[in-house]
């Protein structure tokens, strides 16, 4: 009779890998190689941050959301309205946007956790549409379909003003993006992050294990909302304009597509997906817009049917195939 | 008072159109467990088929309706056989993504073929104008619509409840493996049911060109309404879908008439409240 191996609580190894450091040096390199495309670069990073916040909800906690733009828009309008009313200081605007979006997320999350499946999907969609309609109707505050104009973003740290070339905007977006990423990374490697994965796999079993399911979902939803709000505020501050589009269904669907294109539940999927998506979109913007829509739609459909895990998932599979057969570690033969 | 009844009737007409389009979605979602966000695209192509047949081939409006039903029904069968079949039992995310992607492709194709402009439909003279019914002026097209949908609804109910085929459908839905074991061709039944739903959506799209308008964005714009009807009515329930469609239709029309400044707000708020009170819909099959 063999004795069972001692069960030790195991946490994931969260040391930084070399590939990750290389990945994060890419935006810096890009800034020097393509100095004329910094405005686009900042938009890509903002889109990536938004997709990352969706990854937390969808890829980790497993809540399929069709209304994530609600938080992006809430953050964008918060920063925009603050700026229009004279408070143009960027960092405090960012913070305020995060807080407002988090508050909204916390309110919504109580409705989200009530339902399951289709009901949950519909509630996220409905809440997103509700907010879009509200911003449309309150045109005296939000500018309605014309958008909110007259924003003036103040100097960063009181020294650097946002220039037309987008150098400050690029550095600012990069720093915020990196900061949020480190936070999310820390989070998904923590025990809390492990619970989230468990929730995605089997909510009922985690309930049986004594995990406070609803509280976890409320917490992760609120946090993701805050990050989405920060991304929205970044857009507002760097472009100095907020349009109704920030709350639209297209915005939610776009983030979903980016995330899945890169690979959901993989941390870097959001980044890879949004870079590919935004670059292709900007390249094909000279062509007829329906071409872009057609090929994008086709790609998403193909990924959903035949290539789960997106680009990163395919990469992982290819690496596994090319690697020589590693001997399986015998069960219980740990160090 | 007279205007109130008129609005009520408009709401019912709008609701019956919603029912016609949504009933196929309700079947796909409730019975086959597939979240089909591309359902609006079937209705859109129904509308385009009707407009195209009329303008290109001079087919009269009434004659285009069965053709739309047939064309979209066959297309639905083919798509089910080739693609949707693979989505059965997959995660909700995969289904959402596949069907959203499909809708993008459909919208782009429609833009490419028919252009981004809104399409017009020329109704036959008999369906234009208004008729006096008990002192009320009602649109004759709306009367036609309500009558047609009532007849179709009755036929559908009879088909599912009274025929041999309906019994097979119900058996396949309640327990696919036992049904298959009893020799019922479950796959073929699913395919035919999906085709029927798509055909009805195409018919609804053709009927809706005059009421809802038609441009490539139709597939996304009205998808929300169809999903709403299904989610509120309870996926898979014929009665629930009909009830939800009428309720939402009346509330939407009345809301837009009496409080236009609130606009689309009412219908979304109503949906959220209804979903929170009845998480599996008014007539939900599953909890």
Contact in structure between B234 and B240 (CB atoms under 8 Å): yes
Regarding predicted confidence, which is higher, A157 or A103? Answer: A103
Lowest mean pLDDT among A36-50, A113-127, A316-330: A316-330
- How high does pLDDT run on average in chain A? 83
pLDDT category of residue B269 using cuts at 50, 70 and 90 = confident
Minimal C-alpha gap between B30 and chain A (Å): 10
Q: Can you name the residues that pair with B83 across neighbouring β-strands?
A: none
Give me the percent of chain B exceeding a pLDDT of 90.
21
Is A130 close to B269, i.e. CB distance below 8 A? yes
Q: How many CB pairs under 8 A join A and B?
A: 130
Model confidence pLDDT, tens digit, residues B207-222:
888 888 888 888 888 8
Structure confidence at residue A232 (pLDDT): 93
β-partners of residue B133 are: B136
Cβ of residue A249 closer than 8 Å to a chain B Cβ: yes
Using an 8 Å Cβ cutoff, are B200 and B21 in contact?
A: yes
Angstroms from B52 CA to nearest CA on chain A? 20
At residue A157, does pLDDT exceed 80?
no
- Chain B segment 148-187 residues within 8 A of A by beta carbon are none
Q: Do A133 and B268 touch (CB under 8 A)?
A: yes
Burial class of residue B83 (count of CB atoms within 10 Å of its CB; 0-12, 13-18, 19+):
middle
Query: Does a structural domain hold residue B287?
Result: no
Residue B134 pLDDT greater than 80, yes or no: no
Average pLDDT of every residue of chain B: 85
B101-130 residues touching A, CB cutoff 8 A = 101-109, 111-112
- Chain B residue closest in CA terms to A250: B220
Q: Are B279 and A119 a contacting pair at CB < 8 A?
A: yes
Which one, of B62, B11, B39, B59, lies nearest residue B202 by Cα?
B39
Chain A CB within 8 Å of residue B82 CB = no
Q: Tell me the angle at which helices A167-189 and A38-55 cross, rounded to the nearest 10 degrees.
A: 20
Distance of alpha carbon A8 from alpha carbon A262, whole angstroms: 34
Contact flag A300-B108 (C-beta cutoff 8 Å): no
Mean pLDDT of A209-235: 91
The partner residue sitting opposite B105, judged by closest CB among A137, A294, A304, is A294
Distance between CA B241 and CA B228 in Å, rounded?
Answer: 10
Whether A42 has a pLDDT exceeding 70, the answer reads yes
In this complex, the residue of A116, A129, A300 whose CB is nearest that of residue B97 is: A300
Residues in chain B within 8 Å Cβ distance of A308: 94
Residue B275 near residue B232 (C-beta atoms within 8 A): yes
Q: Residue B2: its pLDDT value, please? A: 60
The per-residue pLDDT for A1 is 46
Q: Does B97 touch chain A (CB under 8 A)?
A: yes
Percentage, residues of chain A above pLDDT 90: 23
Closest partner CB to B104 (pick from A125, A293, A305): A293
| A160 compared with A28, residue with greater pLDDT | A28
Number of domains in chain B: 1
- Given a cut of 80, is residue A14 above it in pLDDT? no
For chain A, what is the radius of gyration of the CA atoms?
Answer: 21
Distance from CA of B66 to the nearest CA of A (A): 29
Q: Judge contact between B161 and B172, C-beta under 8 A.
A: no
Determine the Cα–Cα distance for residues A50 and A254; give it in Å rounded to an integer: 10
Assess whether pLDDT exceeds 80 at residue B137: no
Assess if residue B65 is contained within a domain: yes
Residue A143's pLDDT is what? 75
pLDDT of residue B199: 93
Among B105, B222, B278, the strongest candidate for a mutation testing the A interface, having the largest count of A CBs within 10 A, is B105
User: What is the structure's pLDDT at A288?
Assistant: 74
For residue range A288-303, list pLDDT tens digits in order: 777 888 888 888 888 8
Residue of B nearest to A129 (CA): B268
From the list B94, B231, B262, the residue facing A304 with the nearest CB is B94
pLDDT at position A86 is: 79
* pLDDT digits 0-9 by tens, B88-108: 878 888 888 899 899 999 999
Q: Chain B neighbours among A 124-143 (CB < 8 Å)?
A: 125-127, 129-130, 133-134, 136-137
φ/ψ of residue A156, rounded to 5: -75, 130
Residues in B touching A288 (Cβ below 8 Å): 112
In the predicted structure, residue A331 carries a pLDDT above the cut 60:
no
Please report the ipTM that was assigned to this predicted complex. Answer: 0.80
- Cβ–Cβ gap A297/B276 under 8 Å: no
pLDDT at A176: 92
Task: Tell me which chain B residues have a C-beta less than 8 angstroms from the C-beta of A125.
Answer: 224, 227
Q: How many residues does chain A have?
A: 335
Q: What is the pLDDT of residue A3?
A: 56
Of chain A residues 262-281, which have a CB less than 8 A from chain B? 264
Region A57-67: what's the mean pLDDT? 87
Nearest to B108 among A130, A249, A290 (CB): A290
Position with higher pLDDT, A286 vs B34 = B34
Over residues B22-40, mean pLDDT: 84
Which residues of B are less than 8 Å from A111 in CB distance?
272, 276
Structural domain for B271, as ranges = 2-277
Partner-chain contact A119 B87, CB within 8 Å: no
Q: Which residues of B touch A260 (CB under 8 A)?
A: 93, 97
Q: How far is B55 from chain A (nearest CA, A)?
A: 24
Answer whether B231 sits within 8 Å of A257, measured CB to CB.
no
The domain spans of chain A are: 22-248
Which of B82, B100, B260 should we substitute to test contact with A (largest number of A Cβ atoms within 10 Å)? B100
Contact B92 A308 (CB under 8 A): no
CA distance B155 to A276: 50
DSSP-H helix ranges across chain A? 18-33, 38-55, 69-84, 90-112, 117-137, 139-142, 167-189, 191-201, 203-208, 213-239, 249-262, 269-283, 289-306, 310-322
Distance CA(A224)–CA(A50), nearest Å, equals: 9
User: What pLDDT score was predicted for residue A330?
Assistant: 46
Question: Are the Cβ atoms of A304 and B276 closer than 8 angstroms?
Answer: no
Task: State the burial class of residue B144 (Cβ atoms within 10 Å of its Cβ: 0-12, 13-18, 19+).
Answer: middle
pLDDT digits (tens, 9 = 90+) for B166-210: 888 888 877 888 988 988 888 888 898 899 989 999 999 998 888
- B284 within some domain: no
A72-86, A171-185, B121-135, B156-170: range with lowest mean pLDDT: B121-135
Of B105, B220, B261, the CB nearest to A301: B105
pLDDT of residue B41: 92
% chain B with pLDDT above 70: 96
Most confident of A193-197, A228-232, B9-13, B266-270: A228-232
For residue A326, the model assigns a pLDDT of 53
């Amino acid at each position: 009779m063999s004795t069972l191996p001692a069960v030790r609580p195991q946490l994931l190894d969260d040391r930084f890998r070399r590939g990750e450091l290389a990945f994060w040096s890419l935006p810096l390199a890009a800034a020097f190689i393509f100095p004329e495309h910094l405005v686009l670069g900042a938009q890509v990073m903002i889109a990536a941050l938004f997709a990352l916040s969706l990854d937390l909800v969808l890829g980790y906690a497993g809540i399929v959301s069709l209304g994530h733009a609600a938080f992006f828009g809430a953050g964008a309008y918060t920063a925009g309205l603050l700026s229009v009313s004279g408070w143009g200081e960027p960092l405090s605007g960012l913070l305020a946007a995060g807080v407002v979006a988090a508050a909204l997320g916390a309110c919504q999350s109580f409705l989200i956790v009530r339902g399951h499946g289709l009901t949950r999907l519909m509630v996220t969609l409905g809440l997103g549409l509700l907010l879009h309609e509200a911003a449309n109707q309150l045109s005296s505050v939000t500018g309605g379909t014309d958008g909110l104009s007259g924003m003036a973003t103040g100097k960063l740290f009181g020294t650097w003003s946002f220039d037309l070339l987008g150098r400050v905007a690029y550095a600012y977006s990069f720093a915020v993006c990196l900061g949020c990423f480190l936070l999310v990374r820390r989070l998904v490697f923590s025990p809390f992050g492990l619970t989230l994965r468990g929730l995605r796999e089997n909510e009922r079993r985690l309930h049986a294990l004594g995990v406070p399911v609803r509280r976890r979902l409320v917490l992760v939803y609120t946090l993701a909302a805050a990050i989405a709000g920060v991304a929205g505020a970044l857009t507002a501050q760097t472009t100095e304009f907020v349009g109704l589009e920030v709350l639209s269904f297209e915005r939610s669907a776009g983030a979903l597509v980016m995330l899945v294109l890169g690979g959901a539940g993989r941390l870097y999927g959001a980044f890879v997906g949004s870079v590919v998506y935004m670059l292709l979109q900007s390249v094909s913007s000279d062509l007829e817009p329906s071409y872009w829509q057609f090929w994008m739609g086709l790609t998403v459909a193909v990924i959903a049917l035949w290539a789960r895990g997106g680009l990163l998932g395919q990469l992982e599979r290819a690496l596994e195939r090319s690697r020589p057969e590693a001997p399986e570690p015998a069960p219980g033969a740990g160090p | 008072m007279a205007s109130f009844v008129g609005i009520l009737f408009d709401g019912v007409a709008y609701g019956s159109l919603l029912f016609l389009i949504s009933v196929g979605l309700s079947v796909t979602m409730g019975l086959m467990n597939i979240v089909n966000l591309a359902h609006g695209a079937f209705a859109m192509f129904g509308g385009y088929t009707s407009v195209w047949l009329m303008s290109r081939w001079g087919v009269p409006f009434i004659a285009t309706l069965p053709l739309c039903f047939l064309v979209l029904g066959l297309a639905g069968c083919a798509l089910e056989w080739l693609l949707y079949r693979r989505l059965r039992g997959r995660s909700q995310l995969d289904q959402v993504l596949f069907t959203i992607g499909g809708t993008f492709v459909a919208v782009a194709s429609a833009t490419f073929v028919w252009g981004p402009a809104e399409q017009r439909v020329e109704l036959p003279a008999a369906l234009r104008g208004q008729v006096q019914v008990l002192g009320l002026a009602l649109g004759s097209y709306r009367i036609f619509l309500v009558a047609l949908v009532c007849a179709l609804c009755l036929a559908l109910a009879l088909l599912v409840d009274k025929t041999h085929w309906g019994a097979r459908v119900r058996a396949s839905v309640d327990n696919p493996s036992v049904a298959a074991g009893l020799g019922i061709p479950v796959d073929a039944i699913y395919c035919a049911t999906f085709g029927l739903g798509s055909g009805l959506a195409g018919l609804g799209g053709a009927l809706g060109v005059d009421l809802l308008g038609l441009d490539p964005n139709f597939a996304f714009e009205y998808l929300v309404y169809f999903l709403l009807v299904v989610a509120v009515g309870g996926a898979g329930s014929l009665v629930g879908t009909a009830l939800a469609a009428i309720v939402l239709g009346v509330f939407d029309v009345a809301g837009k008439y009496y409080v236009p400044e609130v606009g689309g707000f009412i219908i979304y708020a109503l949906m959220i409240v209804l979903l929170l009170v009845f998480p599996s819909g008014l007539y939900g099959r599953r909890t």
